[in-house]
Structures are given as C-alpha cells and as structure tokens.
C-alpha cells in the first residue's frame, strides 16, 4: 500500500493501521504544529457499486463523533475531502490499544482492569447522554495513552437517535462483543454498549472472552442458555459481588441488564471497594501510584467520579483554561471543566490536563505554569462557608497566604463510616476528599457542608446534611 505524502493541509508521516472503512495514518498539522491521526476512506470502497453507502457511513462517523468532547473519547478535529476521497482528522493518541495490551500481558491486574473500564463507561455515558450509541466497543477501539488515560475511538457504526442510516436487520459490530439483540439484527439501544463493555471488562480480568464457543452459533447458544463462563474460576481476585455485577451487564435480555452504563459504573465501584482487601494491592486512592502497574505506569488520579461541583473558583479555572488553550486550542474549555469535576487540588488538575498535550516539552512547560498558579492561588480563596458557581472552596489542602487552616477532629470509627457513605456518591476519591477537608474546614458544620458539595444529586445532598446538621442546614 502506497502512503500518500499529504492529505488536505496535513503532512503524512507514516501508516498506522487499516480498518473496515479506512486507512489510518500519523500526520502533522503545520498550521498549529501538532501531530494528528488521519482516517482516510479506502479507495477500493469508492470503486464498488455501493460507493454511496460507504460515503454516507463515513460522513455519519463525523456527525457521531464531532460533538463528543470528553477526556475518554478520541477528539474529532476536522472532516474534509480530497479528490473525492473523504478523511477525518483526529486527536493523535500516543500509546497502544487494549487489544495490544491484552495480547502482550494477558489478563490485567484487578485494579488496572477497574481503572480502565470505569473510564470506558464514563465515555459511553457521555455519548449516550448525547444520543449516540457506539455499537462496536472492543479492545482495538479503546486506546490507552502513555499516561494510562483510556480513550474510546471509532464511531464508524455508531447510531444517532435522529439518524435513519441504520435500521432493524442491520448486523454491525464485532461478534465476540455484540449483544444478542445486535447479533440477531434487531434494533439496539444503549444497553448493547453496556453488554460490549461487560464483555470487555470480563476479558480485561481474565484474558478470555466471556462466552467462548468454536463458532458464532455456539457462542450465541452459550449466551442464551449458559451465560458467561465463571469469572471467579478464571481470576480468583474477582469476588462473587463483582461477578454478579458483570453477569448482569451480560444478561441475554436487555431489560435484565443494569439500567444504564452509569448504574453499571456505580455497581463496579461499590463492589470494587468492598473487595479491595482481596487484591494483591489496593485500588488507587490518591494521586500517587498505589494500583498494580501495567506498562506504562498508571499515574493519573481517578476520573471515575460522578459530575459534581468542583472545588475551584471560576476565575481560577478560566486561567487554567487559558494556560491549556495555548497548547491544544478551543477544546481546552471542555477539558478543564470536565477534569475539574474529578480532581481535588490544583496540582492534580494540571497533571490530568497535561495528558492532552502531545509534546513532552510542552507538557513540562504547562506543568511549570501550574506550579506558578499554585503559588498564587490564595487570591481565589473565598471566605469561610461561601460557594462560587463551581463550588469555590479552597482547592489546596495546604496552608496558604491567609495562614494555616483549622483541623477538625473526628473519631476514627466515625470517619470510616463517613468515608463508606461518601464513597457511594463519589467513588474511591472519597478518602482523598475527607483528608483534604479535615485540614481545611474551619468548623465541623463547614466540614459537612464542604463534603456535601461533592454530592451531585440535590436530594441526596440534603439527606446527607440533614442527618448531621438537622433539617435547617
């Protein structure tokens, strides 16, 4: 296959891979001096009798992926055509696919599998909220950056609720990860993505596919009559609780699965926390690496926290956004707002956002800028108990220019119960939040109010405060 020297304004560096619809190249955008990935519709498809169908499907991918700006989704940057051949310019992800990782490593460590699948579910939840069903979740369509950020790629057969491009009778996807209704050519919804994510999670934990079978027919029979193989036999780290969570996602009938991928996500986190002592090493609970390692190290703080008010002043986030936009352009706004909801201090925020920057030198420059911001961040510190539009509590668990903060004293047993309760709402980051707020809040009532700011549901937030401060909180 001959590699072109350029497509549109983009200069081709090398061929990367070929898929069902297109060839993918690493390229360079000379306008903004950054690497990108180019997906180009294969010429042989344009020479077939069904040329118009392939063109329509390729353009459909651009419509599906275009609005999805999310840290766990490969960003679509541009769509164009050259000499009648369409192409997509996408974020270039320096790393490897989960398919490559599984082939190299076999089953992953328990905590690593949880870390990756929760990011995939974050991406799917965002896509579903934007009326997009992926329909082809599989290891080769999930990329893992060098910082171990998972990114879902290839929306080539995605279904958009307002689109009539696909209909009942179409069988699109990869059989080993397709839900039964998808294999039978029935109309699918978001629950088909949940099934595929469950199959992917099973494979991450075991190195094997859940239903086995020497043929597609045998696999389908196993889906209907036997269900997935016993995951606890294949991986002793998996508890019965997590087994039930996974098996529910792989239920034959869509209505027997979790209500949505967000519910699947919550069930994984709850069962993972309960089963943490069985793992060789615990799940990550801080910005440092405490999870079992894959190569490269899993060095990012968790991104699996539900959307909740972030502990940063609006003015500070605006400055962070400007810092990041210098390197990645307009998508900085979405990246900062999203990351701010899943980090609890300014240093961690800059570390997470640095993963969006391709050049090592630029990443270091961005983080250095962040260190200077941290040194002066006290000017954004609000008065005690006040709330900004993004929950503007002080973001650093340290003494600032205003002097040291008071330390709240709570009995260890009560603190443990509080962490368990908060974990239900915000996941494993609960322990970090508790430690930071204990050294930051000026009084016990303020401590509870600060904690409540992390709970996204207003009713649950009121319930949490009412149990501690009374109904007139």
C-beta separation of 361 from 340 below 8 A: no
C-alpha to C-alpha distance for 8 and 288, rounded to whole angstroms? 43
3-state secondary structure of 11: strand
Residue 446 φ/ψ, nearest 5 degrees: -65, -35
Question: Per residue in 209-240, is it b (16+ CB within 10 Å) or e — as a string?
Answer: bbbebeeeeebbebbeeeebbebeebbebbbe
Distance of CA 48 to the CA centre of its chain: 37
Q: The sheet that has 150-152: what strands, in order across it?
A: 95-97, 142-145, 150-152
Question: How many other CB atoms sit within 10 Å of the CB of residue 258?
Answer: 19
C-beta separation of 149 from 71 below 8 A: yes
Question: How many other CB atoms sit within 10 Å of the CB of residue 470?
Answer: 8
Closest CA to 464 of 409, 426, 407, 411: 426
- Vertex 425: Cα angle to 421 and 430 (nearest 5): 70
Is 136 annotated as catalytic? yes
DSSP category for residue 330: G
C-alpha to C-alpha distance for 85 and 60, rounded to whole angstroms? 15
Catalytic entry in 136, 260, 304, 450: 136
Question: How many helices (H) and strands (E) would you count in the chain?
Answer: 18, 11
Structure tokens at 27: 């390229």
How far from 197 is each of 137, 250, 370, CA to CA, in Å? 7, 9, 35
Give strand ranges (E) for 30-113: 34-41, 76-82, 85-91, 95-97
Max Cα distance, the chain (Å): 74
Sign, CA torsion 167/168/170/175: positive
The 3 state secondary structure assigned to 370-422 is HHHHHHHHHHHCCCCCCCCCCCCCCCCCCCECCECCCCCCCCHHHHHHHHHHH
C-beta separation of 431 from 285 below 8 A: yes
C-alpha to C-alpha distance for 22 and 271, rounded to whole angstroms? 40
Strand partners, 151: 143
3-state secondary structure of 12: strand
Q: Which residues are the active-site residues?
A: 136
């Amino acid at each position: 296959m001959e590699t072109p020297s350029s497509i549109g304004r983009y200069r081709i560096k090398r061929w990367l891979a070929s898929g069902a619809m297109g060839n993918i190249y690493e390229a360079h955008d000379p306008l903004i001096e950054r690497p990108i990935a180019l997906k180009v519709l294969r010429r042989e498809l344009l020479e077939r009798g069904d040329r118009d169908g392939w063109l329509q499907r390729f353009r459909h991918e651009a419509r599906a992926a275009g609005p999805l700006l999310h840290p766990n989704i490969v960003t679509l940057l541009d769509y164009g055509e050259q000499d009648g051949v369409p192409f997509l310019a996408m974020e270039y992800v320096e790393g490897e696919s989960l398919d490559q990782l599984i082939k190299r490593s076999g089953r992953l460590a328990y905590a690593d599998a949880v870390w990756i699948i929760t990011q995939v579910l974050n991406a799917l939840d965002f896509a579903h909220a934007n009326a997009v069903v992926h329909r082809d979740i599989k290891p080769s369509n999930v990329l893992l950056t060098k910082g171990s950020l998972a990114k879902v790629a290839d929306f080539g057969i995605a279904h958009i609720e307002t689109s009539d491009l696909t209909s009942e009778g179409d069988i699109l996807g990869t059989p080993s990860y397709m839900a039964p209704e998808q294999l039978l050519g029935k109309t699918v919804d978001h629950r088909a993505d949940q099934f595929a994510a469950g199959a992917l999670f099973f494979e991450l934990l075991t190195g094997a596919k859940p239903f086995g079978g020497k043929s597609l027919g045998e696999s389908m029979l196993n889906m209907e009559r036997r269900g997935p193989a016993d995951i606890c036999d294949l991986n002793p780290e998996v508890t019965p609780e997590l087994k039930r969570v996974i098996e529910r996602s792989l239920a034959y009938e869509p209505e027997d699965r979790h209500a949505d991928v967000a519910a699947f996500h919550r069930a994984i986190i709850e069962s993972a926390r309960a089963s943490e002592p069985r793992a060789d090493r615990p799940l990550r609970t801080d910005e440092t690496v405490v999870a079992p390692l894959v190569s490269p190290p899993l060095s990012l703080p968790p991104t699996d926290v539900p959307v909740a008010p972030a502990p940063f002043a609006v003015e500070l986030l605006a400055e962070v956004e400007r810092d990041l936009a210098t390197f990645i352009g307009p998508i900085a706004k979405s990246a900062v707002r999203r990351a701010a909801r899943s980090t609890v201090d300014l240093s961690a925020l800059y570390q997470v956002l640095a993963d969006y920057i391709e050049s090592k030198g630029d990443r270091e420059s961005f983080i250095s800028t962040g260190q200077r911001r941290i040194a002066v961040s006290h000017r954004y510190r609000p008065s005690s108990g006040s709330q900004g539009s993004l929950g503007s509590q002080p973001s650093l668990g340290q003494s600032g220019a205003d002097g040291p903060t008071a330390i709240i004293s709570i009995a260890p047993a009560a603190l443990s119960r509080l962490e368990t309760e908060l974990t239900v709402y915000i996941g494993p980051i609960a322990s970090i939040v508790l430690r930071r707020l204990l050294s930051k809040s000026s009084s016990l009532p303020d401590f509870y109010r600060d904690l409540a700011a992390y709970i996204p549901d207003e009713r649950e937030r009121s319930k949490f405060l009412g149990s501690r401060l009374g109904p007139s909180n």
